[in-house]
Structure 1
Amino acid sequence: MYKLQAEMVPQERMHKLYCDHHGWLEGVLRRKLGNRDDAADLAQDTFERVLRTPAQVALREPRGYLRAVAINLMRNRYRRAALERAYLEALAARPELTAPSPETQRLLMEALEAVHAVLDGMPERTRRIFLMAQMDGMPYKAIAAELDITVNVVQKAVVRGLQHCYQAVYA
């Protein structure tokens, strides 16, 4: 079992973690992504995220931790790319609209990412019911019938969804 020494200062621990595991992590990511440059970028982002982690504690399984951080970052990249594609497709479908400036596009993408992150934090069932009610404008009875649940369950899920959104914005 590999263990970073607890008595080392955080900077030394991070240096050792990087030296001991960077090549391994980049190799794992290269196999997953099939692209050396993207793997190198993601490995750097992983170590940057670990460095910014407030609790610089000794890790019992550093490779498992690094892999988990890297996989989460990779998922975030894929989600962001999918969100950006959907935004650009929606923009292309409305040729009568003047394309927003690059700055406005960037702000819109950041807003979409924030909304996506909030929705992604909801349990799957709550998110589905919440989106059916809020985005599709479906009546609670129709949602209940489609999902084979009671109207009371729909009401409670929408309330939980609204509470989740409120906490994400104002907490």
Structure 2
Amino acid sequence: MATTHRRLDSAAEFVISCGTATIDVEKKKVLVIRCRNSDEHLLPKGRKDLNETLEDAAKRETYEETGVRVSLLPVNVPTRATTPSSIAPNNRPTLVAEPIAVAQRVSDGVLKIIFWFVAAADSTIPREEGTQQEDEDFEVSWVDVEEVGDRLSFADDQRIAREACAAVFGPG
């Protein structure tokens, strides 16, 4: 028999965040930030604003932390999202801009849920300066697809980057 784990958190007990694995498809590079005060290399992410969609939060947070404007990149990934009734089941799209992963962390009793999307941007376009929040101090870089796993500090970010790159370029 399958086991079901249930948990209920009220609005004051959780936070929703969104982030991207942003890829320059042509140059085969991934957008990475380095937190200057901790020297951690991360994928950009942050908290969703009130009344903001998950997709818009992912794009906005990436822009704020990096100065790079991104667009969500539809990819061919398995998803449990249902096909809208307006689309015939045999016409289900193969490329979707749904979250490719969701991470959950508990810190100080607060559940943090992070929705991850694949995004696209052009690494040759100069980034905009002055987009980071007052308490943010990030250095921005574009890392070769083959090196990004070694550069990122945390296993979750490494896995998300690997899965995003596999969805865009194929496995291996």
Q: Normalised by the shorter chain, which TM-score bucket?
A: under 0.3
Structure with bigger strand share is 2
**TM-score, length-scaled by structure 1:** 0.19
- TM-score, structure 2 normalization: 0.19
Q: Looking at CA atoms only, which structure, 1 or 2, has the larger radius of gyration?
A: 1
Higher relative contact order (CA 8 A, sep 6+): 2
